[in-house]
């Protein structure tokens, strides 16, 4: 069975790629992902806030050193003795690259198109095969219009593509007024791919303490339908690689996303909940299904139920909205 797929200019052995998660922080858990069949790994993110805070602290420290304390100065550690978050990240990237045989994708996570993009060059030099960018921005500012929000994403890709040769994958959230137009704009400024969709974690309210509490809930299969629709809409209309992220727990979820047109399917919650062997399990389910359907290669599957191929493409957009609502049978008393 030929499961190879092209993604961000890389040829992968299969479409299963663990998305950004703590599993890449540790060499053993990353190796376990590779052994279970991961075709590539997206690393945990390097956060803009963390890198910027370190840069500021270091600048302050150097300023204090320059402005006196001559005697004490000899006892102070030199900047090189503090490995920054960036140093640690680069070290982990280099160690994953030297220990694993699969492509390693570095991940930058930020909120502004600021100076942190300069670090992308260092990630490229440390051997990353591609770069994923995640702008975790909640558009809550009443003075920031939709096009301004979109330009945060477009500007970052534009700047990065001018600075580095690496393929750039943008991880997008689902809350844009025109996701298809944004995808086209990202393609125009040099993105190689997009991942649909980034998952925003919702804060919760503790009704006893009357305060906001952060919450992390892992996903469920139902969530994958959001990416499935948008991948189905974009398939065949863009040269961007399309990755599906969110809600893949069973072979069936992955199959639907591939049928809609995904080049790769990302896994995260299911790996955290059940371990790396989920990759094998899901891959086995895909192969069994392909055999039963008589498909010999993944290219026969990809995009087979996309907007390009279904008899009524508007089904992807309005999804038979009225018919769906009318199909609901309320309980009668």
Ligand X SMILES: Cc1cc2nc3c(=O)[nH]c(=O)nc-3n(C[C@H](O)[C@H](O)[C@H](O)COP(=O)(O)O)c2cc1C
User: Which of 49/315 has CB closer to ligand X?
Assistant: 49
User: Which of 123/307 has CB closer to ligand X?
Assistant: 123
Q: How far is the CB of 216 from ligand X (least distance, A)?
A: 6
Q: Which residues contact 131 (CB under 8 A, 6 or more apart)?
A: 105, 106, 107, 108, 120, 123, 124, 160, 164, 166, 167, 168, 169
3-class DSSP state of 12 = strand
- Of 192, 150, 152, 195, residue with least CA distance to 168: 192
User: Which of 103/247 has CB closer to ligand X?
Assistant: 247
Please state, in angstroms and rounded to a whole number, the distance separating the CA atoms of residues 36 and 278. 8
Q: How far is the CB of 44 from ligand X (least distance, A)?
A: 4
Q: Which residues bind ligand X (CB under 6 A)?
A: 19-22, 44-45, 107, 109, 134, 171, 198-199, 218-219, 245-248, 267-269, 272
User: Which of 14/307 has CB closer to ligand X?
Assistant: 14
Q: How far is the CB of 102 from ligand X (least distance, A)?
A: 17
- Provide the strand spans (E) within the chain: 5-7, 10-12, 16-18, 41-47, 104-110, 130-135, 168-172, 193-196, 204-206, 211-213, 241-244, 264-267
User: Which of 10/257 has CB closer to ligand X?
Assistant: 257
Q: How far is the CB of 107 from ligand X (least distance, A)?
A: 5
- Tokens 């990240």, residue? 89
Q: How far is the CB of 286 from ligand X (least distance, A)?
A: 16
């Amino acid at each position: 069975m030929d499961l190879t797929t092209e993604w961000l200019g890389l040829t992968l052995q299969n479409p299963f790629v663990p998305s950004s998660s703590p599993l890449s922080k540790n060499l053993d858990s990353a190796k376990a992902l590779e052994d279970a069949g991961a075709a590539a790994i997206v690393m945990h993110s390097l956060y803009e806030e963390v890198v910027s805070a370190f840069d500021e602290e270091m600048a302050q420290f150097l300023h204090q050193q320059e402005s006196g304390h001559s005697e004490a100065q000899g006892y102070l550690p030199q900047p090189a003795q503090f490995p920054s978050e960036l140093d640690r990240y680069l070290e982990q990237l280099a160690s994953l690259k030297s220990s694993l045989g699969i492509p390693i994708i570095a991940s930058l996570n930020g909120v502004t198109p600021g100076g942190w993009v300069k670090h992308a060059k260092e990630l490229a030099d440390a051997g990353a095969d591609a770069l994923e960018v995640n702008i975790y921005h909640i558009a809550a500012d009443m003075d920031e219009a939709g096009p301004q929000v979109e330009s945060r994403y477009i500007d970052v890709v534009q700047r990065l593509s001018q600075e580095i040769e690496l393929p750039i994958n943008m991880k997008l959230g689902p809350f844009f007024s025109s996701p298809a137009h944004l995808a086209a704009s990202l393609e125009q400024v040099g993105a190689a791919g997009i991942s649909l969709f980034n998952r925003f974690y919702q804060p919760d309210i503790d009704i006893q303490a009357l305060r906001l509490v952060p919450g992390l809930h892992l996903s469920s299969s139902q969530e994958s339908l959001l990416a499935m629709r948008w991948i189905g809409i974009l398939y065949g209309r863009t040269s961007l690689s399309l990755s599906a992220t969110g809600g893949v727990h069973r072979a069936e979820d992955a199959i639907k996303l591939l049928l809609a047109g995904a080049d790769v399917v990302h896994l995260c919650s299911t790996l955290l909940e059940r371990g790396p062997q989920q990759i094998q399990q899901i891959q086995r389910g895909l192969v069994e299904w392909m055999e039963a359907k008589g498909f010999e290669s993944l290219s026969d599957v990809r995009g087979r139920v996309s907007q390009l191929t279904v008899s009524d493409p508007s089904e992807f957009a309005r999804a038979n909205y009225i018919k769906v609502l009318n199909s609901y049978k309320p309980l009668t008393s």
